[in-house]
Structure 1
């Protein structure tokens, strides 16, 4: 029996405990060393960040002659980590400032040959590194990089081709949007806002491009174009926006409604009411929001009808909110206290009036 069940001796138990404790102590030491290493890295990064910001501040406040080089700073720039931090500070500063201050930031970029570092990034394989290089070359207005950046519009990585889109538009303005003619991938809302912000004016010959984008098979291109129409108040495209009420995408319908409200004329309210019942709930709610925003008295009977007869509670609520915007408080309060009115309608009105209060 003793040969089958080996009894653990005190000596073996002590050895096992010592081994376990040694492993625990080793693990603690490794965690402490790693934590100390991370602290040193973060601390060093903070020092480099302050030095980079100080360099930019000094150039902006005192001016720094183009071509004059701080040799000590050059030595620090040989460290890739410091170089990346300095580049990020230059990019952030360029986007923050304008005029002479922005020129000084650009001079620093040229003086310390940061263009070379950005080119090294743009030729890497990691998407986030390439995107960073594109941003740096675009923000610093290195126009010689435009052909190469344009070739990245078809890059398989989303992060890369989106940064390339933004860069091309930053360089070329409206003309840089020609990639929309063949774009298959979706444009995110954030990317659309970035592109819109980069466009300061439209060329005289913009109408053909805009009309082409409104018929794109890519619905995000249509949505972007509707936002472009709103931004620049392109009144000739009012009818084109109305035609999009028949589009298969609810999101496109909603954006089309917002667009014709932005381009509003004397027929807009009647046109919205006329298409109301052909639209899905989401688009109907957007139409009611549009009527609320316009505050046109001619929509009052229609809104009252939706409050009484529309089957969807969300539509009743939206119609009530629009009536409040039209100062129909007395009408709503009278209904809310009428015993013959269905309880559902009374609850909708009371809720809307309380929210308004």
Structure 2
């Protein structure tokens, strides 16, 4: 049997729903107003802070002695957070004396404490932001903390910790590569490479270990690092990596051998060519195009006429043009016995239209 609902109970239920909806509307309005106020305040604060930064850079550390209005704003956590964000952004734009003035502001207004507080928050973006802030302001005593965050579960955090350590220690800070399990993204590799200024010391960094890493991104990064600093003494170890089973690694190996080129490089690449994938073969031809080594002439003509892949034929013709074989290719294009496919390939290389 169904229990009957009385009129009184129905009215009461409607009133409760109405009150709940009303409370929800009020909550949304309050939240919207709060967000609007924060956005409005941020715009005003940004102008105030930018003026303070500009004043500091132009006038130096002894600018306006006391600014009660600015000090009042500093009591608000949200204002301090915006101030810290703008200081970090400004630090990236300036160098020399201007950067020193920005760092002075960081310490003058005790914003280091704000950055440290971010490191103990729960959300990953707060922790990563704290690392960025302490790195930008060169807070060296943060290094042990960064090291402890290398194993953090959140990608955003351990990537910033990696970058922070390398920013402080240069190539020496790359020791985390010894046992790195996570892949290094292209973006992260570029960040790390750009932050390393001095040539890595083989006594401190284990290049050989990284080249043999099971993490292919570590191998690729190491090859890029070696190219940047022309670490020619590792030529033979790089050559051995032509036997690697990852195509992305092999492409970097060919580029590195091209950068390290010696009298035997082209011969070694020619020898490896038949066993390689199409992508690696094209990379080898690109290296030959840069090298302009005449010893590759016969090899390239063979690839032009005999290789089954059209892409290899095209690249072979283009490299031959680079080697000064333009007349040879013209003659072949004009020969009646040359198949139309080869004429199109040759004329494409010569950048000439078929008559």
Contact 2:56 2:63 in 1 (8 A): no
Specify the alignment match of 1:121 in structure 2.
118
Offset from partner CA, 1:239-282 (integer Å, 9 cap, x none): 11110000011011010111111111111111111111111111
Please say which of residues 36-45 and 57-66 is displaced more in the overlay: 36-45
Helix, strand or coil at the partner of 1:102 = helix
Q: C-alpha separation between the residues in 2 aligned to 1:313 and 1:212? A: 39
Helix, strand or coil at the partner of 2:184 = coil
Unaligned runs of 5+ in 1: 1-26
Contact 1:67 1:111 in 2 (8 A): no
Contact 2:189 2:221 in 1 (8 A): yes
1:139 aligns with 2:133: no
Q: C-alpha separation between the residues in 1 aligned to 2:132 and 2:282? A: 40
1:63 aligns with 2:60: yes
Specify the alignment match of 1:73 in structure 2.
70
1:244 aligns with 2:241: yes
Contact 2:210 2:218 in 1 (8 A): yes
1:278 aligns with 2:293: no
Specify the alignment match of 2:326 in structure 1.
329
CA gap of 1:277–1:67, structure 2 versus 1, over 3 A, is farther
Specify the alignment match of 2:159 in structure 1.
162
Offset from partner CA, 1:15-53 (integer Å, 9 cap, x none): xxxxxxxxxxxx9xx99x96x987765554333323222
Specify the alignment match of 1:259 in structure 2.
256
Specify the alignment match of 1:185 in structure 2.
182
CA gap of 1:272–1:111, structure 2 versus 1, over 3 A, is same
1:185-224 correspondence to structure 2 within 5 Å: 185-202=182-199, 204-206=201-203, 209-224=206-221
Q: C-alpha separation between the residues in 1 aligned to 2:271 and 2:314? A: 20
C-alpha deviation, 1:236, in angstroms: 0.7
Specify the alignment match of 1:49 in structure 2.
46
Number of residue-to-residue matches in the alignment = 326
Specify the alignment match of 2:87 in structure 1.
90
CA gap of 1:278–1:104, structure 2 versus 1, over 3 A, is same
Contact 2:172 2:205 in 1 (8 A): no
TM-score between the two structures when normalised by the length of structure 1: 0.85
Q: What is the root-mean-square deviation of aligned Cα atoms in Å?
A: 2.5
Please say which of residues 84-93 and 43-52 is displaced more in the overlay: 43-52
Q: Which runs of 4+ in 1 moved over 6 A?
A: 36-40
CA gap of 1:70–1:211, structure 2 versus 1, over 3 A, is farther
CA gap of 1:66–1:127, structure 2 versus 1, over 3 A, is farther
Please say which of residues 233-242 and 333-342 is displaced more in the overlay: 333-342
TM-score between the two structures when normalised by the length of structure 2: 0.85
Q: C-alpha separation between the residues in 1 aligned to 2:113 and 2:105? A: 13
C-alpha deviation, 1:196, in angstroms: 1.2
Q: C-alpha separation between the residues in 2 aligned to 1:67 and 1:154? A: 45
Specify the alignment match of 2:305 in structure 1.
308
Q: C-alpha separation between the residues in 2 aligned to 1:282 and 1:355? A: 26
Specify the alignment match of 2:17 in structure 1.
none
Q: C-alpha separation between the residues in 1 aligned to 2:284 and 2:204? A: 27
C-alpha deviation, 1:205, in angstroms: 3.9
Q: C-alpha separation between the residues in 1 aligned to 2:197 and 2:230? A: 13
